Amino acid sequence: MGSVLSLPFEGIKFDKSLMDHLRKQNFDEKHAQMISLLGQMVHIGDAKIIAEGIEDGEDDELAWAKDNNIDRVQGFYYSKPLPEDQFVELINYEHDPEKNLTSTKSCFIT
């Protein structure tokens, strides 16, 4: 653990396999508490948490992420993998304040 704490990092990513496991457990309290404690430790170090594997945007996935202090989420719910030019176009569109973004999905949890 000491060697991990000595590494410089700005955030950690909860791998898709972890999200899949949590889904199989129906986001039960025991697993949620363990993830919450890990999240608290990460936040104490001023780092961010990204949860990978938000696939279909079911309310329980997003609610779980919000309830467990996940800072960002990633997954097919937001976009399938894209070629660079399409990714740049998507990012530019989402950050253009003159466009109507009411239907755009944000990957930031607020």
Domain segments of the chain: what residues? 9-94
Cβ atoms of residues 77 and 104 within 8 Å: no
pLDDT of residue 97: 56
0.75 cut: is pTM over it? Answer: no
pLDDT band for 57, please (50, 70, 90 cuts).
low
pLDDT of residue 37: 86
Average pLDDT over residues 57-62: 70
